Amino acid sequence: MHFALVPPGQAEYVHRPAGRVLDVVVDVRVGSPTFGVHHLVVLDGDRPRGVYLAEGLGHAFVSLADASSVTYLVSSGYDPAREFGVSPLDPALDLPWPADVELEPSAEDRAAPTLDEDRQQGLLPTMEECAARYTALRHARGPSRQPARPRPQPSHDPADDHGRAERAAVVGGERVVALHPVPAVDGPAHPFDHQELRSRRETGQDDVTRPHPPPRPAPRPHPSGEQPIAGTHRR
Question: How high is the pLDDT of residue 48?
Answer: 86
Residues 6 or more apart whose Cβ sits within 8 Å of residue 98: 22, 62, 64
Q: Are residues 42 and 116 in the same domain?
A: yes
Question: How high is the pLDDT of residue 214?
Answer: 66
Q: Are residues 136 and 44 in the same domain?
A: yes
Which residues form the domain of 42? 2-141
pTM: 0.59
**Is 52 an active-site residue?**
no
Question: How high is the pLDDT of residue 153?
Answer: 63
**Is 13 an active-site residue?**
no
Q: Mean pLDDT, 10 residues at a time, over the chain (235 residues)?
A: 92 94 95 95 90 94 92 91 93 92 87 95 95 91 64 58 42 42 45 53 54 65 56 49
- Tell me which of 112, 141, 170 is where a domain ends: 141
| Choice among 2, 38, 180, 190 that is catalytic | 2
**H, E, C per residue of 64-132:** CCCCCEEEEEECCCCCHHHEEECCCCCCCCCCCCCCCCCCCCCHHHHHCCCHHHHHHCCCCCEHHHHHH
| Choice among 13, 52, 72, 78 that is catalytic | 72
Query: How far apart, in Å, do the first and last CA atoms of the chain sit?
Result: 99
Alpha-carbon span 181 to 12, nearest angstrom: 65
